[in-house]
A and B are shown apart, each in its own frame.
Chain A
């Protein structure tokens, strides 16, 4: 018995020492990895990059349940490359939402200002990029890749977008590389110490990551995301995403599924460019039709809390259809119709507008 106790005690001591040593081991491994990475051939960009100011400007008019809303947005993106491996990038969001007061009168409303991200990226080697600052949380694909107005096929946000996608403040490792000739792997792992909530200043600590596999030949990407809040009830959120562009068709399919204590749901969207139509070809090749189906299921939070986060207050289904016309590069006219069904009431949502993506070089444009 005494022997067993002394063995257990010694074993527990070993475990404690191992746990204490783990952070140092991780730091040492990181250091070794980056020092080794410097030894690799880190080729410079063929063209020396210059700072640019880019972004999106949009003017949308929507009618939701009979209420007209004028939505004016400008989202400037500043990109500042430094040397061969560094990039400072930032995006601000200025959004004016104007509507008539209930009793009638002129349009008016608040102008919101957000700093979506302000991050420093260091491309350490072909496998790792280190990011620090405020960054878009890599949960699913919509928040990071499809959010800009000139990219998204339908202007209304998916119902589940507010879940686990508030900007993160902290550090992140990310990268993408070929696993073999058939598949690329992409990943992101992050720690956030504070976060700006959807509805104001809310502080929290969370960790998370995303892992995806992209198969270039069928142009299919599948992946999963995870986030854990490191305080209070330490809840988890998990998500899955799919993106598919069949090579034979001008079709783009995206989908996300998420499950969390705030709620669960999915959306699936298909956008089809009418470039293969045999009539009115000049106009049709600039036209895109879109359809999205989505559903949201209440989580373990109250209806008021859900609404304060930007989520529906009740179980909701929604179908949206849209037509976009690409006037020229970066400039498109958008329109959509959606109908929402929920126990809180059914309503229609119409949206029309124009969006424009701009890009202004802030340096000499010629080759070096």
Chain B
């Protein structure tokens, strides 16, 4: 039981380090994927992310209404621990 706070503390430290480094990167470099304005590129990226992430467990479902799909994607983000960037691109792909 005594180790739990230590493990929790270590986890928080690691995540904080990641959050800081990511924040610095955001300030200095622009990710070509996240900030892509070309819808076709984002759609292609979204399909790629969909196949890589969602395809790990199930076949492609039909496209649901956008607001329902937004809920499904949020649910899957938590369930399948999908990254935020993947979630955005998958949602874009599934709602186009």
Report A's interface with B, CB cutoff 8 A.
Answer: 19, 22-23, 25-26, 29-30, 32-33, 36-37, 40-41, 43, 45-52, 54, 79, 81, 87, 89, 121, 123, 125-129, 131, 144-146, 150-151, 173-178, 184, 186-189, 191, 207, 209, 212, 214, 216, 219, 221, 230, 243, 245, 252, 273, 326, 329-330, 357, 359, 361, 363-368
Contact = CB atoms under 8 A, between A and B. Distances in A.
Contacts of B52: 214, 216, 219, 245
B70 A191 contact: no
Nearest to B76: A145
Contacts of A48: 67, 70
For B16, B59, B62, the residue with the greatest tally of chain A CB atoms inside 10 Å of its CB is B59
B83 A178 contact: yes
A25 B9 contact: yes
Given A127-B18, A131-B78, A45 B91 contact: yes
Contacts of B18: 127, 177
Given A30-B12, A45-B70, A177-B18, A187 B61 contact: no
A368 B31 CA distance: 28
For A30, A45, A330, the residue with the greatest tally of chain B CB atoms inside 10 Å of its CB is A45
A245 B67 contact: no
B71 to A, nearest CB: 4
Nearest to B65: A365
Contact of A126 (B16, B22, B67): B22
B39 interface: no
A26 B5 contact: yes
Given A22-B5, A29-B16, A87-B74, A368 B11 contact: no
26 contacts: A19-B2, A26-B6, A29-B12, A33-B16, A41-B26, A45-B74, A47-B91, A48-B70, A49-B67, A49-B68, A52-B72, A79-B72, A87-B74, A121-B78, A127-B15, A127-B18, A177-B18, A178-B83, A178-B85, A186-B81, A189-B11, A191-B4, A329-B62, A359-B64, A364-B67, A366-B67
Contacts of B68: 49-50, 52, 359, 361, 365
Contact of A33 (B4, B19, B73, B78): B19
Contacts of B85: 126, 178
A363 B82 CA distance: 25
Given A47-B95, A329-B61, A363-B67, A26 B12 contact: yes
A252 B80 CA distance: 16
Given A47-B95, A329-B61, A40 B19 contact: yes
B12 A33 contact: yes
The 3 lowest CB-CB distance pairs between A and B, nearest first, are A176-B81, A186-B81, A365-B65
A145 B57 contact: yes
Nearest to B55: A245
Contact of A176 (B66, B82, B95): B82
Given A33-B19, A52-B72, A219-B52, 18 more contacts: A26-B8, A47-B67, A47-B69, A50-B71, A51-B71, A79-B75, A81-B74, A87-B75, A126-B85, A144-B79, A151-B57, A177-B83, A177-B84, A187-B81, A214-B52, A216-B49, A329-B61, A329-B62
Given A189-B8, A359-B64, A125 B91 contact: no
Given A40-B23, A52-B72, A150-B58, A174 B15 contact: no
A186 B83 CA distance: 8
A175 B19 CA distance: 12
A49 B65 contact: no
Contact of B61 (A36, A40, A216, A330): A330
Contact of B15 (A33, A47, A145, A243): A33
For A52, A123, A221, the residue with the greatest tally of chain B CB atoms inside 10 Å of its CB is A52
B1 interface: yes
Contacts of A47: 66-67, 69-70, 91, 95
Nearest to A131: B78
A230 B1 contact: yes
A145 B56 CA distance: 9
B30 interface: no
B60 to A, nearest CB: 8
B13 interface: yes
